[in-house]
Structure 1
Amino acid sequence: MDRGQSIPEPLTRDPNTPRAPRPGVIAPVRAVLRLRRRVCLLRKRRLLLPGAGTASAGPDTEFRAPRTGSDQPQFFTFDGPVELSSRAPRKKRRRSRVVLYPETSRKYLPRAERQSRAQRCLLLLVAIVGFQVLNAIENLDDNALRYDLDGLEKALQRAVFGQPAAVGRIVALLRDYLATHVHSRPLLLALHGPSGVGKSHVGRLLARHFRAVLDDSALVLQYHVRHHCPEPRAPQACREELARHVGDVVARAEAEEKTPLLVLDEVEFMPPALLDELHSLVQPQRSHQFHNAIYVLLSSAGGGEITRFVLQNASRVLSAHPGGGRVARAGVAVAQALEELRAGLRAFLTREHPLWKAAAIVPFLLLDKWDVVSCFREEMAGEGFFPEQAQAEQLAAQLSYYHVAGREYAVTGCKQVVAKVNLL
């Protein structure tokens, strides 16, 4: 053959002989195979690790190289495994104990329940009670001002001579009773003393004052036993009449929200039927309208006991005034003596009738000569005469007196003053 002529290829090829790949495809295929083997190897190692292969692992975790052995760090650092193993292990931070709460309770309240409704109701209740207390105090002050007890005390001290202890006790009892609106029983004042010491005069002054402050004369009842219930009249008829008068007064006072005054004079002449009716009127079992009332009983019962007490305790109870008058001592001896007198008088009156058990007893003491002189001057001024001191003493000298421990106590008090002045 010629050199330039090419040798022809055989027409047939052995099938067992592999076909040589093309040079441009071998390198990428080899790279893909190596990556596939690497992925399979990583999968096998991941499956062999404890706790691996859970469902929580995402698709990105399968390409993350597993950390086997203690030389692998649990956090990223630029140090190698040898340097990490040489370091001292970190101390674990001790956690504080967690406060355990019951399962049925909440660790915190919701925002809507942080301010309880019960707390708001409690604050509202406190405000209402405070307002009611303040309003009640103001009402009590208004009630005391309505009856003008200060003016009543000044009027009694100016017009009643020789009875400072009795006047003070009467005003104190009225203040205590009129300081409240609701009462469990009425106020029963029992003024006792011998004739002419000022009991009836105090009753007239009380009636005049209450008529003025209440602006209604129907709320003041003045009952004279010998005038309204004379001797021939039947006691049962007097009893029914007294009950009707008292019922009308207290009903009218209840409608007007006022406290009435009932003055009963000459109680020592009351028949037992009237005393029983009066005793039933002051009982707490009666209706509410009967509780809000003031009864003033004027009586000479026990006058003999008061006279004996004053004569026996003249030096202990009374002292002479430098100007010629008489004043009560402000010491403990006077208070003890008056308390003994009230206790003895109550025991004496209770034996007569049980009405006096519920009464506040106010004893009226004997009047000395200087008190009688003051009565004469007051009456002379009222009748239009000039109240001359010498003339008043001359008139007072005409009366009868008890002479005890250098003092003179009038037997009839100021009972005969009006008759003596009318003779002028």
Structure 2
Amino acid sequence: MIWRLLKFIKKRKEIKLRKKFFERNGGLLLQQQLNSPEGGLDKGRILTVMDLVVATDNFNKSRALGHGGLGTVYKGMLIDGRIVAIKKSTAVYEGKLEQFINEVVILSQINHRNIVKLLGCCLETEVPLLVYEFIPNGTLFEFLHDANDELPVTWETRLRIATETSGALSYLHSAASIPIYHRDIKSTNILLDEKYLAKVADFGTSKSVSLEQTHVTTLVQGTLGYLDPEYFQTSQFTDKSDVYGFGVVLVELLTGQKPISSSRTEEGRSLATYFMISMEENQLLDILHPQVREQATREDIKRVADLAKRCLHLQGRNRPTMKEVAAELEEVRNITFPSRIQRNKKSDAAVEEHADGLEPSKMKAETGTLALLDERPLLVTTSW
């Protein structure tokens, strides 16, 4: 009898604590967004802590995908069968809950095939948990820098990944309902799905901005090798700061070299600096990856390298916009691989046309690609 009473009291305390965390983490505000006609947020995106405990076998260490300075990402399976990645932070952030909820709402409404989807969140724990789709083939960094003779990274693949990534960033900057600065563009934050399509991930430091804003002023944070020098000097992050980070990724794709390397000379330890010096000294061909040098035309190399150079200009105002970057890469790709792109477009159109006549219950079974646009695995990067 006493054991049952103690068990009941313990359960009541747990329920009260979960309610306290839910309210403190902005759960009531999120519920208002759900009830708002224009909110457009699926109620299924609010998950309970028990949903995630079951999904991860109580956050079993064997389910950990990676560890970072701010927490751990776990692989799990929701009750509906979806494979997900759950980011569990170890840091408690006081205040700014309204901004946190706003970010959840914004990311929940983003719908782009090359951006990892935020599937939901849990507010019943001391620190909110974020639930993403799971992306199976790791990061672009691993794909480029971990040698794999069985899966060489061809020029066509490099150009496609660059085009897909730039298109996603262009969408965030100029096509989303509210412009979003990613603020941590790097090859470890670009994931590759089961078909090695690019997925931009990790929006932990992202900022949404009003249409009239030109920058956000913040404490300087970022990743060495990708950090915009202008942002470092002024603490003002602009859309062109994302462009700079993408420029470094583009050089990684061209050269196959890491953003920071002690094997290069002191002056060129930064890949961006090494690349710019090579361009100025007309030695670009010497630093290109063999796959690029052998498979790409000189015209392709010149156009993409010149584009990367413009992205890495020290003054942000002289860099192109992501929309301009995406358009130029798309043009290069259309000219170089027109038949492959046309076949892909026809294939996508056929899938969509077939899916239009399917009942929702049959869509997943009969259209793997289309269904996975909403259910494809998501990722996690270990360096937050």
Give the alignment's TM-score, normalised by structure 2: 0.25
Greater relative CO, 1 or 2 (CA 8 Å, sep 6+): 2
Give the alignment's TM-score, normalised by structure 1: 0.23
Which structure has the greater CA radius of gyration?
A: 1
